Amino acid sequence: MSKHTGFVKGKGLLVVLSGFSGAGKSTLTKKLLAEYDYAYSVSATTRKPREGEVDGKDYYFVDRETFEKLIAEDALLEYNEYVGNFYGTPKEPVLGNLENGKDVILEIDVNGARQIRKQYPEAVLIFVTAPSARELAERLSGRGTESVDVVIKRLTQSIKEKDDALSYDYLIINDDLEETAKHLNSLIQDQHMRLSQQGKYLDDFVKEMKDLLASLK
DSSP string, 77-94: EEEEEETTEEEEEEHHHH
**Residue of 29, 103, 99, 108 lying closest to 76 (CA atoms):** 108
Q: What is the pLDDT of residue 1?
A: 43
6-58: per-residue pLDDT in tens? 555 678 999 999 988 888 888 999 999 999 999 999 999 999 999 999 999 88
d(CA 41, CA 77): 11
Residue of higher predicted confidence among 83 and 39: 39
pLDDT at site 163: 86
Distance, CA of 24 to CA of 144 (rounded, Å): 15
Q: Is the dihedral of CA 121, 123, 126, 149 positive or negative?
A: negative
Please write the tens of the pLDDT for every residue from 131-190. 887 887 777 777 656 677 777 777 877 777 888 888 999 999 999 999 999 999 999 988
pTM: 0.74
CA-to-CA distance for 169 and 34, rounded, in angstroms?
A: 24
